[in-house]
Structure 1
């Protein structure tokens, strides 16, 4: 007999929140990479833009400004979280992302399977071909 506590949960991710020294700049970077634009902003207590968001496939991606943000010390330290993206033309996507302010670190643990880039805030993300 299955009880309510035994039943699987049926949750879904509705928001990914990512901090950076400049939340708006990072929101614009990733929105451009995914072919969208920032569609919502949130003010802080003084009315200043504190967070920016856009939606993809029903999930919100929220980028907030954090004055205490520090760039991750990757690859020396493990990352608690990172994002992976797929593109039909990985080489063209890499070139465009680099033009937009990403950088490519020397450390590339994915070999031919994926490429690690650093976003403008220094946080690693990976790009792959379309599956």
Structure 2
């Protein structure tokens, strides 16, 4: 099968691209780039992440039906990652539907993402 399309970037809508990119940069170790305050990218992983300002943006909230898409992040130690997320301004909501297989976290703007144990 011939591949004709690849995913180059995952773009996350947000209110403050620089702040949200800084959160994910500290969490992942990836490098922010770009000088446009309305669009910031992170490089260093298997796909580029970008954060795009949307005026009046409100996060999807958790739990709720408007989850949009979310990221799954593989980490060697979920408990350490949970502590790090709190230190960086994120949160771990009380509702955890993963049954121990994943942990739902929220970034500072309320986007949910999941933590899974790295293989």
With the length of structure 1 as denominator, give the TM-score of the two structures. 0.82
Name the residue aligned to 1:46: none
In the alignment of these two chains, the number of paired residues is: 119
Deviations 1:31-80 (A, max 9, x none): 111112312233xxxxxx21111213452211012222112143221422
In structure 2, list runs of 5 or more residues that go unmatched.
none
Name the residue aligned to 1:104: 92
Q: Where do 4+ consecutive residues of structure 1 move more than 6 Å?
A: none
In structure 1, list runs of 5 or more residues that go unmatched.
1-6, 43-48
Larger-gyration structure (1/2) = 1
Q: Please point out which of 82, 87, 102 is paired with 2:75.
A: 87
Q: Please point out which of 10, 14, 21 is paired with 1:20.
A: 14
Cα offset, 1:9, TM superposition: 4.0
Whether contact under 8 Å (1:84, 1:127) holds in the other structure is yes
With the length of structure 2 as denominator, give the TM-score of the two structures. 0.90
Q: State the distance in 2 between where 1:88 and 1:28 align.
A: 21
